[in-house]
Amino acid sequence: MSDDSIIDLIVEEAKEKMAKALSHTEETFGEIRTGRASPQLVSKIKVDYFGSEVPMQQLAGFSVPESRLLVITPYDKGSLGAIEKAIEKSQLGMTPSNDGNVIRLNFPQLTEERRKELVKVVKQRAEDGRVAIRNLRRSVRAHLEGMEKGGEISSDELDRAEKVLEKLTHDFIQDVDRALGNKEKELLEV
């Protein structure tokens, strides 16, 4: 295997890990309530279903008929009570409305103060995402420098790989910033 292909493999692996870090950051943004109904807010809530903890997305379908209304339709009507209890226990701070067939969640308008608090939370999560991406860059760079010291790659190859890695890191951090901007805009929208 040539040195170039080893470096390419290492950089490609770094790219995949950075993509996962970006995806995770975007998922955490989805968990933050914006005053608008979103299935992401409840899909991961664990429901005690016949003695085992099951994510709600495996027990029910979700629909958003209006911007402030989320309708949860259980696949098994017997799980309706368990889903309702899980929502009440969750940190959503909402009271579900159960009509015997579906559960409805009405999302109240967020206050301006609450919106600003949530923007701070989103910014912190974005920073966590940036830090994760930078940490990946640092570990890959250390690995490449170790390869150079061990004589596996030349200093020119190290420089080329570091430039590629730097561009990759910059691109993923821009993606995190773009996602942050979109979430901020969504939170501050009245």
Do 182 and 117 fall within a single domain?
yes
Residues 89 and 119 in one domain: no
Is 1's pLDDT higher than 60? Answer: no
* Concatenated DSSP letters of 115-134: HHHHHHHHHHHHHHHHHHHH
Do 181 and 87 belong to one domain? Answer: no
- Same-domain status, 87 and 181: no
Number of independent structural domains in the chain: 2
Looking at the structure, tell me whether residues 55 and 7 fall in a common domain: no
- Is residue 25 within 8 Å of residue 179, measured between CB atoms? yes
Please answer whether residues 73 and 61 qualify as being in contact, where contact means their C-beta atoms are separated by less than 8 angstroms: yes
Phi, psi of 161 (to 5 degrees): -65, -40
104 neighbors 97 (Cβ within 8 angstroms): yes
Alpha helices in 57-111 (DSSP H): 80-89
Quote the pLDDT of residue 177.
97
Q: Give CA separation, 38 vs 16, 34, 45, 65, in Å.
A: 27, 9, 13, 11
Query: pLDDT (tens digit, 9 = 90+) per residue, 136-157?
Result: 999 999 999 999 999 899 999 9
H or E element, residue 30? helix 3-30
The domain of 176 spans: 3-31+111-188
Q: Are residues 131 and 179 in the same domain?
A: yes
Identify the domain boundary among 106, 121, 136: 106
pLDDT > 70 fraction of the chain, expressed in percent and rounded: 97
Same domain, 74 and 116: no
Distance CA 179, CA 185 (A): 10
Judge if 120 and 159 occupy the same domain: yes
Q: Give yes or no: residues 70 and 93 share one domain.
A: yes
Question: What is the CATH classification number for the domain harbouring 88?
Answer: 3.30.1360.40
Task: Give the C-alpha separation, 169 to 143, whole Å.
Answer: 16
Which CATH number fits the domain that encloses residue 172?
A: 1.10.132.20
Give residue-wise pLDDT tens across range 22-80. 999 998 887 777 777 788 888 888 999 888 899 999 999 999 998 888 999 999 888 89
* Joined tokens for residue 56: 């709600």
At residue 153, what are phi and psi to the nearest 5 degrees?
-135, 160
Mean residue pLDDT across the chain: 89
Same domain, 75 and 115: no
Cα distance between the two ends of the chain: 57
For residue 90, the SS3 value is coil
Higher pLDDT: 36 or 87? It is 87
Residue ending a domain, among 54, 78, 106, is 106
Q: Are residues 180 and 130 in the same domain?
A: yes
pLDDT band at 166 (very low <50, low <70, confident <90, very high): very high
Last residue of a domain, one of 50, 78, 106: 106
DSSP letters, 75-87, are SSGGGHHHHHHHH
Q: What's the pLDDT score for residue 72?
A: 93
Q: 178 with 125, same domain?
A: yes
